[in-house]
Structure 1
Amino acid sequence: MDLHLIRHPAVAVAPGTCYGASDVPLAAPLDAAVAHLRPLLPTDAALFASPLSRARLLAEALGAPVIDERLREISFGDWELQTYEAIGCEALDRWADDPLGHRPPGGESAADMSTRVLTYLEELRAQKQGEAVVIVAHGGPLRVIAGHLLGLPPQRWLALDFAHARLTRIRVEAWGTTLQLFNR
């Protein structure tokens, strides 16, 4: 499988605001992102996207995506659209102490999000072996996909910093995985 991973473009959210599963607007029109990405993508690829508009709209501008709920960003529950200052240092420290297992009130943990994304990935690998695939999603799910395929331990997945509206390409073979491009 020739896997093309794209993080959504930048969003119009005030700095210092926690957002994940909230459907926030894009900061700019899609023209520049599409012009940059389209020549880098195979024309015959299967296209998949998160249902959140910041990813879905880019995917729709690139083709006819299959929308999959499992590609949405992590839900921060009661923290969604709150400033980090309003969430408070004590709550954020608990999260920092256990970034994979901590579950914000009413939200999901990174481990929960990873489980749903890896379930999706295993189904995709079984269905699209040997094919080109494009996924337009969010930083969290893309870290899970790339980190898992590259054999990184989950504690290192946060080190994969996916830039907005940039392409990462991973070649998945029966013998292993090759990172071919990152944030191009």
Structure 2
Amino acid sequence: MPAPRPTRFFLIRHAIVEPSARTVMYGDMDVAICALALVQDASAYQWLAARLPPGARWFTTPLSRTQATAAAIFAAGYPAAALEIEPRMVEQHLGEWQGITHEAFTARLTTPAHPFWPHGAEEKPPGGESLADVIGRVGPALDGMAADMPGQDVVIIAHGGSIRAAVAHALRLDAHQAFQLSVKNLSLTRLERVGGDWRVVSVNEEPPLTPA
């Protein structure tokens, strides 16, 4: 018997946000993507439009930056598809610390910062989430989507935190290890669900560099 076709997930981190938002820890605040970068990153959108499989189901989070990124990929050549909302793929919620400056955020930390992130993997802001909490909601979301869409192609425009959480779930990494994953804006991460198991195809794929 031939092996069943895997459910293939194509996870894209949204475009870079506007400069004013980058001065604070915005977490899951609804901030806009940078209008200038939308023009400068035209080749990245074209690369994604050509790289993604036709006929996929498309999901975004409730935040406008993911939906604007999807619209830019459609404008770059991917046939427009209906967008479905998956709130469990949203970015880490920073609770009472959300919206404060990076300096103020650092002053409130209760554990040492991660070498590659402003806070530690187990840091849980008051009223917010730790990265372990994000892994705990993203993992079941992916399992459920794979069960509901067996053998299909699924594109998810999401966030750095939720994509790290997705890879951590697939590889059974802890939160500290998840923060060691680089997930850049407009990068592509590919996961597959084969039967009851997860396979990581790639992490943080970026478009080829344009010659100077």
Comparing 102-111 with 129-138, which one deviates more in the overlay? 102-111
In the alignment, which of 117, 126, 151 is matched to residue 105 of structure 1?
126
Q: Which residue of 2 aligns with 1:157?
A: 178
Q: For 1:53-92, what per-residue CA distance to the aligned partner results, in whole angstroms no more than 9, with x for missing partners? A: 1112222443321111111111112222211212343x22
1:94 correspondence with 2:105: no
1:182 partner SS: strand
Q: Which residue of 1 aligns with 2:88?
A: 70
In the alignment, which of 33, 51, 66 is matched to residue 26 of structure 1?
33
Instruction: Give ranges in structure 2 of 5+ residues lacking alignment.
Output: 1-6, 75-80, 207-212
The percentage of aligned residue pairs carrying the same residue is 34
d(CA) in 2 for partners of 1:12 and 1:108?
24
CA contact (8 A) 2:135 2:168 kept: no
Q: Which residue of 2 aligns with 1:117?
A: 138
Comparing 79-88 with 140-149, which one deviates more in the overlay? 79-88
2:155 partner SS: strand
Q: Per-residue deviation at 1:42?
A: 0.8
CA contact (8 A) 1:148 1:154 kept: no
d(CA) in 1 for partners of 2:146 and 2:53?
18
d(CA) in 2 for partners of 1:108 and 1:180?
27
> How large is the RMSD of aligned CA atoms in angstroms?
2.3
What is the TM-score normalised by the length of structure 2?
0.76
CA contact (8 A) 1:168 1:181 kept: yes
d(CA) in 2 for partners of 1:106 and 1:149?
27
Q: For 1:82-134, what per-residue CA distance to the aligned partner results, in whole angstroms no more than 9, with x for missing partners? A: 11212343x22526388343221222222222222112111111112221111
Aligned residue identity for 1:170: L
Q: Which residue of 1 aligns with 2:98?
A: 80
Q: Per-residue deviation at 1:16?
A: 4.5
2:34 partner SS: coil
Q: Which residue of 1 aligns with 2:156?
A: 135
What is the TM-score normalised by the length of structure 1?
0.87
Q: Per-residue deviation at 1:26?
A: 0.7
Aligned residue identity for 1:72: V
Instruction: Give ranges in structure 1 of 5+ residues lacking alignment.
Output: none
In the alignment, which of 7, 24, 31 is matched to residue 17 of structure 1?
24
Comparing 125-134 with 147-156, which one deviates more in the overlay? 147-156
d(CA) in 1 for partners of 2:132 and 2:203?
26
Q: Which residue of 1 aligns with 2:205?
A: 183
